[in-house]
Amino acid sequence: MVAAMVTGAVACSAPGGGGSGGGAADSVVIGVASEPDTLSPLLGYGKDGNSKIFDGLLARDAELKLRPALAKALPEVGDGGRRYTFTLRDGVTFSDGRPLTAADVVFTYRTVLDEKTNNPSRSELDAVREVRAAGDDKVVFTLKYPYAAFAGRTVLPIVPEHIAGKQDPNTGSFNTEPVGTGPYVLAGWSKGEKLTFKANPRYWGGEPAVKKVTMAIVEDDDVRATRLRSGDLDGAILPPNLAATFDGDRAKRTYEATSYDYRTVTLPTAGEVTGDRAIRRALDAVVDREAMVDQILDGAGRPAYGPLPSDDPWFAKGIERGQDLDKAKRLLDQAGWKARADGVRARNGTRAAFTLLYPSGDKVRQEHALAYASDAKKAGIDVKAESATWEVIEPRMKNTAVLAGFGSTGDPDFGLYTMLHSSLAGDGFNNMGRYDNPTVDRALDTGRRGQDPAQRKEAYDTLQRALVEDPGYTFLTHIDHLYVLADRWDGPTTQVEPHEHGFASGPWWNIEDWRPRA
């Protein structure tokens, strides 16, 4: 899901107050575009891993392979894929000194699964029938059906029952005063300005060498670049054109991370224009994805022909397609959308026109929105690109097109089910456009419940081909994430990243392993 969407609105940050970069190597100040609305995993924070405050039973390494974290080893799987047993690592404590037990794991999952808990990602654990403790160090999950991707869901951060269990998960102080088992603890949070973390001396993996981490919330891309250049920040996530301005700076290094992150236009089914299949197919045909990659991303990305990147093993080969203006015009003509003197088509008195919202301050989305509107105009569709804050966008997104971002790593089920399944239509940022296609629903259910890799591959191929014929979104580009970081540490690397980036991803995804350079 969209990072700023899932965790809350993009912060309105002031240029100052984020800390001072360029200091001692045991301290780092990072500029990011947004802050979470909550730091509680019970409400969705850190659900895909890389939380510095918490750990899951499992984690992902640099190649995204699952590895033990709070668990001693990968799970024992039984009952035909319906039972997963984890044994906890010895000697793990929360940052307050209390020991981790199986009861904490059970509490975390049961609370997330409780319908009274406002967790937008609950459907991702739909397969879980029961979770129970078997003594202090074993946790047993019983599934309703075999779920091939379940182990990847157990990167979910674990919270302490002795603290969170005494509070309302939706409103309790734990949401902003978290306690976990991770390498860092929250030292302070000035909303809209910065979050400060300090090394956890009780961390089971050893106390990190970088003792202080500050995440400065700087919404505007240009301001982040300016503060990085001035030395106020040690590192930042930047769009390609701004990252390129640091190419000659020998004191800094640019990191490029490939990703599953894509930009897409949601086309709400409720709209008289956006809900029309001919309009949707025409937009898919008229958009120039290659030009967007070249001109907006400076080559740091790939055309998006659907929700999965074209180099992913689950990608349906043969759905690649280029701009086809003649096809777009033909589709509209056949559907009765007639050209008019002003260049905008109409049918039965309705103009082929709609508004496209994009988040203010996000230059990459702005440029995508403007390019999309320009391409649409060539087919006689009038798209008005309009910037707004997420506070403004959220109540309008069920009926208004949005330049959105999605993309999850690990398994195709992780990102596709919440985006496309009709059962989640209009459920917050899940299935934002209320897409409803029975063929896609069946494919999603088969992919989620199937155990045979070939059967799952066929299901996701069917899904991707159905999206070409009945697009509820116009997929534009898959984006490589660019980061610029002062070259003062050994250890920074990148992973293949999900949509969520900057705060939990980036070269600081493994900051607990960094070592200051002598």
The pLDDT, as a whole number, for residue 361 is 82
Residues 6+ away with beta carbon under 8 Å from 374: none
Quick check: helix, strand or coil at residue 517? Answer: coil
Torsion of CA 357, 359, 365, 371, to 10 degrees: 30
The pLDDT, as a whole number, for residue 394 is 93
Q: Smallest Cα–Cα separation from 195: which of 7, 391, 64, 2?
A: 7
Ordered alpha helix ranges (H), 302-386: 325-334, 363-378
Angle at 513 between CA 511 and CA 517, to 5 degrees: 90
Could you please state the CATH topology (level 3) that the domain comprising 1-35+191-257+481-518 is classified under.
Answer: D-Maltodextrin-Binding Protein; domain 2 (3.40.190)
Instruction: Please count the residues of the chain.
Output: 518
Angle at 71 between CA 68 and CA 76, to 5 degrees: 90
The pLDDT, as a whole number, for residue 21 is 53
Q: At residue 12, what are phi and psi to the nearest 5 degrees? A: -95, 95
Summarised one tens digit per residue, pLDDT across range 73-106 is: 999 999 999 999 999 999 999 999 999 999 999 9
For the four alpha carbons of 107, 113, 117 and 120, in that order, the dihedral sign comes to positive
* Strand 473-479 versus strand 301-303 pairing type: antiparallel
Which residues of the chain fall below pLDDT 50? 1-20
Burial state string for 13-41 with b = 16 or more CB within 10 A and e = fewer than 16: beeeebbebeeebebbbbbbbbbbbbbbb
Burial of 361 (C-beta count, 10 Å sphere; 0-12/13-18/19+): buried
User: 385, 356 in Cβ contact below 8 A?
Assistant: yes
The pLDDT, as a whole number, for residue 501 is 66
Q: Smallest Cα–Cα separation from 234: which of 32, 495, 380?
A: 32
The tokens describing 320, both together, are 């690649």
CA distance 47 to 86: 18
Which whole-number Å values give the CA distances from 106 to 47, 128, 135, 136, in the listed order? 16, 12, 12, 11
The pLDDT, as a whole number, for residue 18 is 41
The pLDDT, as a whole number, for residue 63 is 87
The pLDDT, as a whole number, for residue 23 is 60
Helix (H) and strand (E) counts in the chain = 14, 23
Could you please state the CATH topology (level 3) that the domain comprising 43-168 is classified under.
Answer: Dipeptide-binding Protein; domain 1 (3.90.76)
Superfamily of segment(s) 262-479: Dipeptide-binding Protein; Domain 3 (3.10.105.10)
CA distance 330 to 388: 34
Sorted by where each begins, the domain ranges of the chain are 1-35+191-257+481-518, 43-168, 262-479
Residue with tokens 């900051």: 511
3-state SS track over 6-21: HHCCCCCCCCCCCCCC
